[in-house]
Amino acid sequence: MKIAVTNEQHCFDVVEVPDPAPSGGELVIRVAACGVCGSDIKAQPYMPAGMVMGHEFGGEVVSVGTGVKDHLVGSTVAVLPVISCGTCPACAAGTVAHCAQTRYLGMGPDRGGLAEFAAVPARHSFVLPNGLPAAYAALVEPFAVGLHGVHTAALTEGESVLVVGAGGVGLTTTAWARVTGAQRITVVDPEARR
């Protein structure tokens, strides 16, 4: 398979590597789409050579490892870009990003979605509804971040909202504010092109 890997010049090389095989509890997906987050753009110049970035991704399940019951080969999944311990209080509460042992796909030694195939934890993968285009899987993570922002703000119907930043998270926050019933939404950004 082909992967985009960081190099010594802080750019990317596209190289061939063997296809991944799933370990216990993992899925291998054929990546349908991988978003490029603002954090990817900011972090990329500092990433060591040899990394496969990309944490907003998903695709079709092509194989499953032992112990995986909930995912069928052929399903389309979105991937939560974390690998957590699964047993600590944060994991038990469902706040896996607060696990002290959390690692992030595409932002460390664990390969991300800038690849044709990716091995990912089954317990951090979510089957998408039938008929939804597979490329939409890459939008689940940024929309989840926007929804978290709206929930954290405790937005209620009829309120006015100011969203600072018109990047991916700002736009998904704007979409959720509209769905939640915000009366007036103002979006500002220091970059005029946005």
Are residues 19 and 38 in contact, defined by beta-carbon separation less than 8 angstroms? no
- For residue 103, pLDDT over 80 is answered with yes
pLDDT band for position 113 (50/70/90)? very high
- Per-residue model confidence (pLDDT) at position 77: 96
Q: What single string gives the DSSP state of each residue in 69-89?
A: -S--TT-EEEE-SEE--SSSH
pLDDT band for position 108 (50/70/90)? confident
Per-residue pLDDT of 161-193, as tens digits, reads: 999 999 999 999 999 999 999 999 999 999 888
Per-residue pLDDT of 54-77, as tens digits, reads: 999 999 999 999 999 877 899 999
**Domain definitions of the chain by residue range:** 2-138, 153-188
If phi > 0 it is left, if psi is from -120 to 50 it is alpha, else beta; for residue 121 that is: beta
Per-residue pLDDT of 13-52, as tens digits, reads: 999 999 999 999 999 999 999 999 888 989 999 999 999 9
- For residue 109, pLDDT over 90 is answered with no
Retrieve residue 69's tokens: 């019951």
Q: Which CATH number is correct for 2-138, 3.30.360.10, 3.60.20.10, 3.30.420.40, 3.90.180.10? A: 3.90.180.10
Q: Residue 115 has what DSSP assignment?
A: B
- Per-residue model confidence (pLDDT) at position 110: 84
Residue 134 CB partners (closer than 8 Å, separation 6+): 32, 33, 58, 59, 60, 76, 128
Per-residue pLDDT of 126-161, as tens digits, reads: 999 989 999 999 999 999 999 999 999 999 999 999
- For residue 104, pLDDT over 80 is answered with yes
Residue 171 CB partners (closer than 8 Å, separation 6+): 146, 187
Q: Residue 12 has what DSSP assignment?
A: E
